[in-house]
Amino acid sequence: MTDTAGKKIAVLTSGGDAPGMNAAVRAVVLVGISCGADVYGIYNGYKGLMEGDLRQFSAKDVSDLSRKGGTVLGSARSKEFMTEEGFAQALRVIKGYDLDGLVVVGGDGSLHGAQRLSESGVKCMGIPASIDNDIAYTDYSIGVDTAQDTIIEAIDKIKDTASSHRRGFVIEVMGRAHGFLALATGVACGAEMVILPGDDLTNPERQAQIVDEVSRYYVRKKPNFICVLAEGASGPGCSAVDILAELISRAGYDCRKTILGHVQRGGTPTCNDRNLATIMGFAATKALLEGDTGKMVGVSGREVLLTPFEDVFAAEMDLPQEFLDKVRLLSVY
C-alpha cells in the first residue's frame, strides 16, 4: 500500500474548451487510479463543482478519450464561483466529498480559480489549456498546436481564392489580448501582414503607412494580399477587421473579411497536443498525490516545470522575437 492509496482527487475542465483537454483528463484518471487513488470527474467546470455535479471515474470511462476534441467533462465560464458565496459553496462540496485535491485544466481565469482554492487550503494543481498560448512558464498550452493547424489550413484555402481573384483578405484569428496565434500562423502561411494587439489602427499616420505598404504589393502585381489579424487588436470603437479591409481596398485590392471564430477551438487534437496533455496530466497528478499544491505544470523544451501560480501570473508574456523578426522577411514577394 503506497501513501497515495485511498486518496480522493478530482479533475475539472474550465473556461474555453481546448483540443487535448480530454487527453489531460484521461491521464489524471489513469495515473490517479494506478497510484491507488479514487478519481472523480467534475462536470461543467467550477459551476459543476459548486453544484456537486461529480462522479467517480473508472479507467473504462476514459478509454479512447485522447483523440476526442472539446471536453467530455463539459466546461463553463462561471462568474458565480468568483463570488464569496459561490466560492464558499465550492469549498463545502469539496469538504462534503472529502476530496484530498483537485486538478484544474483550463486557461488563465481557471488557473486563478485554482490559485484561490489552494490559498484556501485545498490542494490544487493547474494544467494550462487554452488555444491563446497566453500563459507563462510553459512553451505551449494544451490546444495551441491543434488550433494553429486549423488556422493554417483555413488560411491556405483562403489563399487559393485570394490568388484566383487577385484579392486581399483580412483573416481574424482568436487569441484574446495576446497575439500568439496570429503571429505564429501568419509566419507559417507567409502572410503579407500580421496585425497584433496594441497596434493603433485609428491613428491616421499608421493608416497611411498600412496603405503605403499594401500598395507596394499591389503595384508589383502580387496576386493576393493576406493580412492575419489578432482579435485583440480591436477595441471599443475600433473594429480592426473593418478598418483593415478598408485600407487594403484603398491600396487597390478587392478585399474580403473572414472571422475564423470558434472553428479554431474544436477538432481532433494533434499528436503534440495529446502528448503534451498526457505529460502534464501525469505530472500534475503525481505532484498532487505527493502533497504538492498551488502550482501549474508547464513544459519547456523537454523539461517539465512545476511553477507556483503567483510566479505564472506575475510573468510578462512576450511574443517570440524570432517570429516577430520573420513576419516581414518571409512575406517579401
Cell of 173: 484569428
CB of residue 134 vs ligand F6P: minimum separation in angstroms? Answer: 8
DSSP 8-state class, residue 222: -
Pick 59 or 317: Cβ nearer ligand F6P = 317
Q: Which stretch in 48-56, 58-66, 170-178, 247-255 sits in contact with ligand F6P by CB under 6 A?
A: 170-178
CA–CA gap between residue 126 and residue 108 (Å, rounded): 10
Residue 68 touching ligand F6P (CB under 6 A): no
- What is the Rg, in whole angstroms, of the alpha carbon atoms belonging to the chain? 22
Nearest to 240 by CA among 278, 285, 193, 287: 193
In the set 100, 132, 145, 149, the catalytic residue is 132
CA–CA gap between residue 320 and residue 312 (Å, rounded): 17
Residue 265 touching ligand F6P (CB under 6 A): yes
Pick 14 or 278: Cβ nearer ligand F6P = 14
CB 110 within 8 A of CB 15: yes
The number of residues in the chain equals: 333
Q: Which stretch in 42-50, 173-181, 215-223, 289-297 sits in contact with ligand F6P by CB under 6 A?
A: 173-181
CB of residue 266 vs ligand F6P: minimum separation in angstroms? Answer: 10
* Candidate list 48, 101, 106, 107; residue touching ligand F6P; CB under 6 A: 107
Catalytic: 199? no
Cell of 253: 485590392
Pick 7 or 265: Cβ nearer ligand F6P = 265
Q: Which stretch in 64-72, 114-122, 172-180, 239-247 sits in contact with ligand F6P by CB under 6 A?
A: 172-180
Pick 66 or 78: Cβ nearer ligand F6P = 78
Pick 88 or 259: Cβ nearer ligand F6P = 259
CA–CA gap between residue 327 and residue 188 (Å, rounded): 9
Pick out residues in 123-162 that bind ligand F6P (CB under 6 A).
130-132
* Candidate list 47, 68, 176, 286; residue touching ligand F6P; CB under 6 A: 176
Three-state DSSP string of 28-78: HHHHHHHCCCEEEEECCHHHHHHHCCEEEECCHHHCCCCCCCCCCCCCCCC
Residue 174 touching ligand F6P (CB under 6 A): yes
Pick 31 or 196: Cβ nearer ligand F6P = 196
Pick out residues in 183-202 that bind ligand F6P (CB under 6 A).
none
Q: Three-class SS of residue 306?
A: strand
Residues 277-316: x where in contact with ligand F6P by CB under 6 A, - otherwise, as a string = ----------------------------------------
CB 103 within 8 A of CB 39: no
Number of residues in contact with ligand F6P under rule CB under 6 A: 11
CB of residue 247 vs ligand F6P: minimum separation in angstroms? Answer: 24
* Candidate list 45, 126, 175, 294; residue touching ligand F6P; CB under 6 A: 175
CA–CA gap between residue 106 and residue 75 (Å, rounded): 9
Nearest residue by C-beta to ligand F6P?
174
Handedness of CA 176, 194, 209, 170 (dihedral sign): negative
Ordered alpha helix ranges (H), the chain: 21-34, 45-51, 84-96, 108-119, 144-165, 180-189, 204-219, 240-250, 271-289, 309-314, 321-330
Dihedral of the CA atoms 76, 81, 87, 92 (nearest 10)? -40
CB of residue 144 vs ligand F6P: minimum separation in angstroms? Answer: 10
Which residues of this chain interact with ligand F6P, rule CB under 6 A? 16, 77, 107, 130-132, 174-176, 231, 265
Residues annotated as catalytic (active site), given as ranges: 132
